[in-house]
Structure 1
Amino acid sequence: MTTIAVLGNGRVGGNLATALSRAGHEVTVVDRAPGAAAHAAREARIVINATPGAGSLERLAALREELHGKILVDVSNATTDGTDGLPEDLIYHGSSLAERLQEALPETHVVKTLNTMLFPVMTAPTTLTQPPTAFLSGEDAHAKQTVREMLIDLGWQKDWITDLGGIRTARATEAAILFVPHVIRATGFTPFAISIAR
């Protein structure tokens, strides 16, 4: 059992929290109550960033002391939205939210994952008609192994998880969000994920 704090109580955060609790972890979901994030981050071993990506950097940078030595799993994408509310463009051109978080939190082990799929797939990858891929980006091998084990608890098979390397590789997976609005407009809001077919 691992103590996990999920920052963000929307669809993504709630979905992850429910599934991780079901898998036997001790999970705290954090809302916007003053001090709640700091307290939860201080008590957790793993902190999951499921907050809207546009405001994540400022919100998490304020928790530098509480996140010292912790694993920060970033599942968000930092985008501006179009008039229909769907992602329109990236905020951090030539970089990524995960990279910016790692720069702001040098004593925290940032791992990017689960950001190349619609949120239902994060906790139910076997419901798709073909195996999806979950990517890992991060500088610390032990942190990535811990996150890999967490993904397995969520139903991901080992060979569906691909370690891309350092945190710089997150800019590639974050850019994949630009596919999402076009796919949704073309086929509707049906769960899908990016998959590497071999």
Structure 2
Amino acid sequence: MTTIAVLGNGRVGGNLAQALVRAGHQVTAVGREPGAAADAAGAARIVVNATPGAGSLERLTALRGELRGKILVDVSNATVDGPDGLPADLIHPGTSLAERLQEALPETRVVKTLNTMLFPVMTAPAALAQAPTAFLSGEDPQAKQAVRELLADLGWQQEWITDLGGIRTARATEAAILFVPHVIRASGFAPFAVSIVR
């Protein structure tokens, strides 16, 4: 059992929190209240960033002390939304939210994952017709191994997980969010994910 704080209690955060509880972890899920977020992050071993990506950097930088020494699992994408509310552009072109978080929180081990799929797939990858891929980006091998174990608890088989390397590789997976609105417009809001097929 791992003590986990999920920051963000919307569809993404709520879905992840429920699945992690079912897997036997001790989970605290909080919304945007700074005090509650600080308490939850300070008490957890692993913190999941499921806050809206546009404000994640500011919110998490304010928790620098509470996040010191922790693993921060970043599942958010920082985007500018179009008139229809779907992602239209990246807030951090040429870099990524994960890189900015790692720069701002040098004593926190940031791991980017689960950001190349619609949120239901995060906790039910086997429900898709073909195996999806979960990517890992981060500088700390031990932190990435801990995240691998969490992904396994969420139903991800190890062969479905691809370690891309350092945190700089997150700019590639974050850019994949720009596929999402086009796929939704073409096929509707049905669960899907990026998959590497060999």
Partner in structure 1 of residue 16 of structure 2? 16
Aligned-pair CA distance for 1:31: 1.6
Identity across aligned pairs (percent)? 82
Correspondence list, 1:155-170, <5 A? 155-170=155-170
**Alignment-mate amino acid for residue 104 of structure 2:** A
Correspondence list, 1:1-150, <5 A? 1-150=1-150
Instruction: Give me the CA root mean square deviation.
Output: 0.5
Q: TM-score normalised to the size of structure 2?
A: 0.99
1:82-125 residue CA offsets vs partner (Å, 9 max, x unmatched): 00000000000100000000000000000000000000000000
Q: TM-score normalised to the size of structure 1?
A: 0.99
Partner in structure 1 of residue 178 of structure 2? 178
Q: Counterpart of 2:85 in 1: which secondary structure? A: coil
Structure 1 CA distance, aligned partners of 2:184 and 2:163?
27
Q: Which range moved further: 188-197 or 29-38?
A: 29-38
Give the total of aligned pairs: 198
**Alignment-mate amino acid for residue 109 of structure 2:** H
**Alignment-mate amino acid for residue 169 of structure 1:** T
**Alignment-mate amino acid for residue 118 of structure 1:** L
Gaps of 5+ in 2: none
Structure 2 CA distance, aligned partners of 1:184 and 1:168?
28
